[in-house]
Amino acid sequence: ETGVTQTPRHLVMGMTNKKSLKCEQHLGHNAMYWYKQSAKKPLELMFVYSLEERVENNSVPSRFSPECPNSSHLFLHLHTLQPEDSALYLCASSHSGLAGERGSYNEQFFGPGTRLTVL
């Protein structure tokens, strides 16, 4: 596997279910991101992990719970979701470093996304 992979690619769940989205990067990066992409809305940054520590949480409801066990893996745990949470969830990774350091342009590499439908 190369690049950034996400599983599953499609997920249908009821509002009472608990599920998890998985992201894995094979690029040697040290920062990972979750984005939500809804129809007719801009890309929304949800969470940022740098060196396995959460550095940003953009007022995301607690029914979304991220987990970053190591620099290659990122999870998004879902529980008691609402129909309005239906969207494409994108994972990305980048090299996070000091300004000017080689590769520290924050160029992000994206996975193919998980299309989530909440019934």
Partner 1 sequence: AQSVTQLGSHVSVSEGALVLLRCNYSSSVPPYLFWYVQYPNQGLQLLLKYTTGATLVKGINGFEAEFKKSETSFHLTKPSAHMSDAAEYFCAVSERGAQKLVFGQGTRLTINP
* Among residues 7, 8, 12, 107, the one that binds partner 1 under rule CB under 8 A: 107
Report, in Å, the least distance between residue 71 CB and partner 1. Answer: 15
Q: How far is CA 72 from its chain centroid?
A: 12
Residue 89 phi, psi (nearest 5): -105, 120
How far is it, in rounded angstroms, from Cα 102 to Cα 113?
A: 28
Does residue 48 interact with partner 1 by CB under 8 A? yes
109 binds partner 1 per the rule CB under 8 A: yes
* CA atoms of 19 and 37, how far apart (whole Å): 19
Does the footprint of partner 1 cover residue 22 (CB under 8 A)?
Answer: no
Q: Is residue 82 within the footprint of partner 1 (CB under 8 A)?
A: no
